[in-house]
Chain A
Amino acid sequence: MRTLPRRLGVAIVVAAIVVLLSIKLNSFRDYQIAEIAFEVTAVAGLTVLTGLSGQISLGHAAFMAIGGYTTALLLLHLAWPFYAALLVAAVVTAVAGAVVGAAAARLRGPYLAGATLLLGVALPAIAYAWPATFGGDQGLNVAFTTPAFLGVNFPPTRWLAWVATLVALIVLVLLANLNHSRVGRNWRAVRDDDVAAALDGINVAAARILAFVVSATCAGLAGALLAIVTTLVGPGSFTLTVSISLLTAAVLGGLGSLAGALWGSLVIILVPTYVTDVATSHGLSASVGSNIPIVAYGVLLILVMLVFPQGIQGGLTRLFSLFFSGPDQKPRTWRTAPTPHVTPSADQAPASQHEKEGTL
């Protein structure tokens, strides 16, 4: 249990850094901090689902949408305080995660990918079908004010950055503890070999469903944060692109690693704006300038996956072990992305080295 104070310590240090940064930086950067905070909340949940329990979700934006719309409706119609709406959003998405997880527990690899992909596409369509409740294409506006004790002149984006960071850090600490508990061990056992896990007395279906519940709750919290940070929830906030970018961030950072979730979120949020800045400052034409970030993002994804197969965190761990503990020491296995079946045995080798019936 000595790890708990250590994790709390790390969280407090990060919180202090964020507070300092948010005071030093301008309001646009504060907004980006808030964006990174809700992004990392969702990505951390997804990395637990995919990296630790071995289930893929290509529709995680659907859970963000559930959390976001729940928050927006509660704030809009009932004028609840945000923390109460946040808790309700977490409960509602947990229930949704249980439903989806129960259906998903039977599915494997690409079939689960297909079902969740379509879930991510279909759920935001409900907003179009019932515009009276969900505001249709326009979405719902969310009013969020800074508390009175901070004074009138306190920048709202700074307060948003603080709130979002606080929620993100609480989620990360809880997830880190969960991963190291019996629950996390069960997930990894189920991921690596579900038959062996079942023989060891683990309830495989329950472990899978629980992973979906935890992951969906994180996404729901992220959606609630997105609602207050962007002051708007609409179908456009939860598109297929968002779902895909969540998975991309998780794998890019290093699947199954919470630190990796942070690296992935930083890349997803910061790289496009950075490249856009560079492109516009070089006076490129609009059609080229607006597409350069997209091209750069695509190339970056491909390169990182080919050069650092274990993601950014895996690359960092390797560098770190080179410098400090000698190349022989293996990194702790749960931190690195799972590679259970990358080299298939000869008797059941698939057509290429790609996994025969694994995650995808």
Chain B
Amino acid sequence: MVEFLQFTLSGIVFGMIYAAIALSLVLIWRGTRLLNFAQGGMAMFTTYVGIEVIYKTHSYWAGFVIALAAGLVLGAVCELTVVRPTTGKPPLNAVIVTIGLLILLEGLAGIFFGGQYRSFPAAFSIIGLRVGGTPIGVSRFDVFVAVAVLIATLALAAAFRYTAAGLRMRAAAFNATIARLSGIRVARVLTVGWALAGLLGALAGVLVSPSTFLYPNSMDAIFVYGFTAAVIGGLDSAVGAVVGGLILGVVLSYAGGYVGGSVGSDLTSLVALGILVAVLMIRPDGLFAGARMRRV
């Protein structure tokens, strides 16, 4: 029972990180109908920026804030420079452009920051918390991870729901032509969407790196699971992204915990594939897909 609780809680913590990546993918998908393969690479790059600032200033929070700011800027810059010119070209071209961007960022990270593994500091203690003497499988920092992603998600949801800018973004995603006709500058809205996605990715990068080390490919696996979470939840649904992330995190945690040994950790990707196939066989557009006309 204690074990079950431990696995569940640590699964939720990793699930929140997958959810952050999934949310950033959903943000971009809803705006531009594009899968951003560079999302993990962008997160990796901003995390490097964060760690450099931490080395220079000896302040975790300075690095944290600057990494998030770098995420905002990088997201907007990527949209403006390489993604926008793919408008009107075959859709796979935009995907290949983001793959090119990913490769470019990984190469640049190797040049600027070196290829060696670096450890990333955690904001709070990583010693497991105990309740009445029994370890519950999560640390203070893990709690911070879950809370930080939760706050970011709720803030985004509130911004989309209650602000004029949020309304513009929803309108642009719903129907670009009509949004444009009603005076919304859709192109600018898309840039803001990419910037916010960059911010979420940067948050995920800073939060996950203490437990994975940081190197130019360090976000690849996180990206794959974040993408999986987004697909499980349905790429059009922000709620789906969070739920998908949590499902994936918790089930993978059980698989790694109960199967045990090296086999368990080797098979996590197979377990993830199993979940994904099971979900897609029942709901081909993800758990939270809206009703959609599709015959044949």
Give the interface of A toward B (CB within 8 A). Answer: 50, 56, 103, 106-108, 110-111, 113-115, 117-119, 121-122, 125-126, 128-129, 194-195, 198, 204, 240, 244, 247-248, 251-252, 255, 287-288, 290-302, 305-306, 309-310, 337-339, 342-343, 346, 349-356, 358-360
Contacts and interface: CB of A to CB of B under 8 A. Distances in A.
Contacts of B31: 351-352
B92 A255 contact: yes
Contacts of B286: 111
B104 A359 contact: no
Contacts of A128: 262, 266
15 contacts: A108-B284, A108-B294, A125-B269, A244-B99, A290-B110, A291-B108, A292-B107, A294-B107, A301-B96, A306-B93, A342-B89, A343-B88, A351-B30, A352-B32, A352-B176
B99 A248 contact: yes
B213 to A, nearest CB: 18
A309 B88 CA distance: 10
Contacts of B263: 129
Contacts of A350: 33, 176
Contacts of A103: 277, 280-281
Contacts of A339: 90
Contacts of B82: 302, 306
B291 to A, nearest CB: 14
Given A118-B224, A354-B87, A298 B100 contact: yes
A305 B93 contact: yes
Interface in B34-66: 34-35, 37
Interface stretch (B12-20, B156-164, B227-235): B227-235
Given A106-B280, A354-B32, 13 more contacts: A106-B284, A111-B284, A111-B285, A115-B280, A126-B270, A255-B92, A297-B103, A298-B101, A338-B90, A339-B90, A354-B86, A359-B92, A360-B92
B85 interface: yes
A298 B104 contact: yes
Residue among A198, A350, A356 with the highest chain B CB neighbour number at 10 A: A350
Given A115-B231, A248-B96, A306-B85, A360 B269 contact: no
B99 A301 contact: yes
Interface string B71-99: 00000000000100111111111111101
Interface residues of B, number: 71
Nearest to A288: B111
Given A301-B99, A306-B86, A349-B176, A125 B266 contact: yes
Contact of A252 (B96, B224, B268): B96
B144 interface: no
B125 interface: no
B186 A351 contact: yes
Nearest to A104: B280
Interface string B108-124: 10110011000000000
Contacts of A111: 231, 235, 280, 284-286
Contacts of A288: 111
A131 to B, nearest CB: 9
A69 to B, nearest CB: 16
B276 interface: yes
Contacts of A204: 296
B95 A360 contact: yes
A118 B107 contact: no
A107 B276 CA distance: 12
B244 to A, nearest CB: 10
Given A107-B284, A252-B96, A358 B273 contact: no
B202 to A, nearest CB: 20
Contact of A107 (B87, B175, B280, B295): B280
Nearest to B229: A114
Interface string B167-203: 0000011111101000000100010000000000000
Contacts of B86: 305-306, 354
A240 B269 CA distance: 12
A87 B268 CA distance: 32
A359 B91 contact: yes
Contacts of B95: 251, 360
A271 to B, nearest CB: 12
Given A126-B270, A353-B88, A298 B103 contact: yes
A309 B111 contact: no
Contact of A352 (B186, B267, B268): B186
Nearest to B113: A287
Contact of A305 (B96, B272, B276, B284): B96
A282 B156 CA distance: 49
A121 B266 contact: no
B252 to A, nearest CB: 12
Contacts of B111: 287-288, 291-292, 295
Nearest to B95: A360
B277 to A, nearest CB: 6
Given A103-B281, A111-B285, A349-B175, A360 B100 contact: no
A251 B91 CA distance: 11
B102 interface: yes
B61 to A, nearest CB: 30
Contact of B276 (A114, A309, A355): A114
A292 B103 CA distance: 11
B227 A287 contact: no
Nearest to B286: A111
B104 A299 contact: yes
Contact of B231 (A114, A244, A251, A300): A114
B33 A302 contact: no
Task: Return the 5 tightest CB-CB contacts between A and B, nearest first.
Answer: A298-B104, A301-B100, A294-B107, A114-B231, A298-B103
A291 B106 CA distance: 8
Nearest to A310: B90
Given A126-B270, A354-B87, A360 B101 contact: no
A121 B186 contact: no
